Amino acid sequence: MPLPSDLPIIDHHCHLHPNHEGVGAARRFAAAGGTHLMLATQNYTAAVPRSLDDYRDQFDTTRRLADAIRSQTEVEVKCVVAPYPIDLVHAAPLIGLSAAVALQEEALELAGREVREQRAVALGEVGTPHFPVGEDIQAACNRVLDYAFSVARGADCPVVVHSAELDGPGYRSLAERGSRAGVRPGRIVKHYARSALPAAERSGIVPSYLARRTLVDQVTGGDGPWFLETDFLDDPARPGAVLDLATVPRRALAIASKGPDAAERLQIPFVASFREVYGWTPEVSGPRVP
Ligand SMILES: [Zn+2]
């Protein structure tokens, strides 16, 4: 059974680089049946950003890439912007910890403005290092995450969080951290989630599951909201480091081929969860390829 013609197929978290595969990767995504990309910003140069202008350039690059994809393919793109939280770890030795924190906060304000002026739909990635760091750096990262939540509350948008893998208590403490800043858990997405957790153990936080086959099979029957993502990096120097951009449509096709009931479950990651978390209902506009 092919994909239902009105079902959007969305990769909830990917990165693309204008000097690497870029638009071509989006074209490949469309050819596999994909319709929407949530395009997360990234550092496009090897150097860590050291000024607000560096972040301004970065967000502009993401927006221009999104424009190029919209004009050259059938894929709809929504931008997700924020200073990458790990930048703090690398900027601190160069400019000092307090300047690095201040830079993250200014860049978060800039990202909040991108959302308010409708050039982006969420703050992300924000969060904490997925590897051990010194106590002072960890504390600074937590402070910046609190700041990110307050910016998200002001911009009234979802927050896409980068962190180590979380278990039930981890989801709970993230939900509490968001609530203290006035962001409800249903607007907080744990990106790169690699283990299936029942809704009762997620404290209202929304997992964006890595679209590995076994994980997709595990979560497809479960309660929403949840998303699927590849975290595609578009980095020829790191082939196979993450899933390919065609993965989400391929998984969707495999599920839909099991029959109409299975296809119906795809409403959760591609329609209902977007409506719940982002407040918007994705629709298929162009012709479906496969
Ligand atoms: Zn990412």
Write down the pLDDT at residue 1.
66
Query: Who contacts 201 (Cβ-Cβ below 8 Å, separation ≥6)?
Result: 167, 168, 171
Output the CA 259–ligand 1 centroid distance in Å: 32
- Residue 120 Cα to ligand 1 midpoint, Å, equals 15
- Quote the ligand 1 centre to 246 CA distance (angstroms): 16
Per-residue pLDDT tens over the stretch 128-169: 999 999 999 999 999 999 999 999 999 999 999 999 999 999
Amino acid identity, position 79: C
Q: Which residues surround ligand 1, an ion (CB under 5 A)?
A: 231
Within the chain, residue ranges assigned H as helices are 23-31, 52-72, 86-95, 97-116, 135-155, 168-180, 213-219, 247-256, 260-265, 267, 273-278
CA of 125 to the centre of ligand 1 (A): 7
Residue 203 is predicted with a pLDDT of 98
Rounded to the nearest whole angstrom, what is the distance from the C-alpha of residue 261 to the centroid of ligand 1? 31
pLDDT for res 242? 83
Q: What is the average pLDDT value for the chain, to the nearest integer? A: 95
Give the distance (Å) from ligand 1 centre to CA of residue 41: 8
- Ligand 1 centroid to residue 127 C-alpha, Å: 11
Residue 241 has pLDDT above 80, yes or no: no
Residue 4 binned pLDDT confidence (cut-offs 50, 70, 90): confident
- 3-class DSSP state of 276: helix
The residues, ordered by sequence, that sit 6+ positions from 34 with a Cβ below 8 Å of its Cβ are 9, 10, 11, 75, 245, 246, 248, 249
Distance 229 CA to ligand 1 centre (A): 9
Domains recognised in the chain with CATH numbers? 10-278 (3.20.20.140)
Could you tell me the distance, in angstroms and rounded to a whole number, from the CA of residue 217 to the centre of ligand 1?
22
Distance 160 CA to ligand 1 centre (A): 9
